[in-house]
Amino acid sequence: MPVKLTEVARHAGVSLATASRVLNGSSRTPAAGIAERVKSAAEELGYVANAQAQALARSTTGLVGLVVHDIADPYFSAIAHGVQEAALTSHHQVLLAGTDIAGDGGSPGDAELAAVNAFISYRTDAIILAASRLLEEDPRLIKALSQYITNGGRVVTLGASAIPEARVLTVANREGAAALVAALVTQGIRRFVILAGPHERNTARVRVEGFLQGLAGEKIEPLAVVHGAFTSKGGHDATLEYMDSLGDSAAVPAILTHDAGSPVCILAANDVMALGAMTALRSRGLAIPADVQVAGFDDIPTLRDHSPGLTTYSLPLEEMGRLAAEMALTPAGKQSHSVTG
């Protein structure tokens, strides 16, 4: 139904080949006069090239797939923003998929596999995996991506993965976590509760390892390591559970306050968990940072408007998205890259 190139060509009195050459960047450029005729015919008819047909003929789609966990999470949306930016400069469109959305049922990780398969089906020029990699990658995922790469597709992951040949944007999760602990200790804090994410998520696990490593360096044992979902609610619920585990849930657990001599700091595996933790603490009447301190990881943009400010390890999220997209869209580009806070 839309007007096609054939019609433009006929309208301009030239062949299909010529029309194609003037309208879409070909190496051959028809004479100025002809070109003008074709252009105005296209303009007049409101011609818009069919990218699907072009993709088929050129065997490159101008699409880049981005897999995030939850686009509504500030961490991922900041990255997505950066990806979009870089995609635009390379004239690519972004295909977005979120793995937090229940697929047609199935085990966790199925959503990611489905997303990747969809992207492969659309023959995206590259796929960016921003959702945190799993400790045990799904072999089907690995197989699909390997084949994709073999066929000329590019894959970049944020953080290491078990996917051979994928380019990786290394993030200073472990080092950052350790550094954060060191900074907090310098501030005089020596009692920590670690709010860990799901163990199978590499990002979450590695950060906790970094925390523990940092603490070990200072000869400190954490008061506890509690696990929760990698979300605000996860941080909130885990914090509540922890407090309850401390004793009478009606009263403010004494251990959390200064009573014991030094302030306690809740060290969350990421900012949204930290924010959830703060909400939980407040709901129990604890003041932040007077009674309890809280630290996070990521420096999500929305922190800007939080008060009191969260102590956090700052990651250049948007820049990370941009870098990942650049790595993905540069045919012979960098195979790896790393970012620090």
Residue 328: CB minimum distance to DNA, A? 21
Residue 59: CB minimum distance to DNA, A? 6
With 0-12 / 13-18 / 19 or more C-beta atoms within 10 angstroms meaning exposed / middle / buried, residue 161 is: buried
Kindly state whether residue 10 participates in binding DNA, applying the rule CB under 7 A.
no
| 43-51 LR contacts (CB < 8 Å, sep 24+) | 44/11, 45/3, 45/7, 45/8, 45/11, 46/3, 47/3, 47/4, 47/5, 47/7, 47/8, 47/23, 48/2, 48/3, 49/5, 49/23, 49/24, 50/2, 50/4
In degrees rounded to 5, what are phi and psi of residue 184? Answer: -65, -40
Residue 182: CB minimum distance to a second copy, A? 27
Residues at the site binding a second copy, with contacts judged by CB under 8 A: 1-2, 46, 48-53, 55-56, 61, 70-74, 77-78, 80-81, 84-85, 88, 93-98, 101, 103, 117-123, 143-144, 147, 150-152, 232, 272, 275-276, 278-279, 282, 301-302, 304-307, 318
The encoded tokens of residue 270 equal 């990421």
* Nearest CA among 311, 316, 310, 304 for reference residue 340: 316
Residue 63, beta-bridge partner list = 93
Q: Measuring CA to CA, how many Å separate 224 from each of 178, 192, 328, 330?
A: 17, 7, 40, 45
Residue 106: CB minimum distance to DNA, A? 23
DSSP code for 266: E
Q: How far apart are CA 278 and CA 14, in angstroms?
A: 69
H or E stretch including 8? helix 5-12
Kindly state whether residue 120 participates in binding DNA, applying the rule CB under 7 A.
no
Q: Which is nearer to DNA, 20 or 99 (CB)?
A: 20
Q: How far apart are CA 161 and CA 202, in angstroms?
A: 9
Q: Measuring CA to CA, how many Å separate 161 from each of 83, 200, 311, 319?
A: 19, 12, 28, 20
- List the single partner that 107 binds among a second copy, DNA, none, CB under 5 to 8 Å by kind: none
Kindly state whether residue 18 participates in binding DNA, applying the rule CB under 7 A.
yes
Q: Which is nearer to DNA, 121 or 307 (CB)?
A: 121
Kindly state whether residue 338 participates in binding DNA, applying the rule CB under 7 A.
no
Q: Which amino acid, residue 320?
A: M
Residue 61: CB minimum distance to a second copy, A? 6
Q: How far apart are CA 26 and CA 136, in angstroms?
A: 46
Kindly state whether residue 147 participates in binding DNA, applying the rule CB under 7 A.
no
- List the single partner that 17 binds among a second copy, DNA, none, CB under 5 to 8 Å by kind: DNA
Q: How far apart are CA 90 and CA 84, in angstroms?
A: 10
Given 40, 44, 53, 262, the residue binding DNA (CB under 7 A): 53
Kindly state whether residue 21 participates in binding DNA, applying the rule CB under 7 A.
yes
Kindly state whether residue 17 participates in binding DNA, applying the rule CB under 7 A.
yes
Kindly state whether residue 14 participates in binding DNA, applying the rule CB under 7 A.
yes
Place of tokens 């994928």: 166
Residue 94: CB minimum distance to a second copy, A? 5
- List the single partner that 318 binds among DNA, a second copy, none, CB under 5 to 8 Å by kind: a second copy
Given 36, 40, 56, 103, the residue binding DNA (CB under 7 A): 56
Q: Which is nearer to DNA, 1 or 102 (CB)?
A: 1
Q: What residues between 32 and 51 interact with DNA by CB under 7 A?
A: 34, 47, 49-50
Q: Which is nearer to DNA, 56 or 260 (CB)?
A: 56
Residues that bind DNA (CB under 7 A): 1-2, 4-6, 13-18, 20-21, 23-24, 26, 28-31, 34, 47, 49-50, 53-54, 56-59
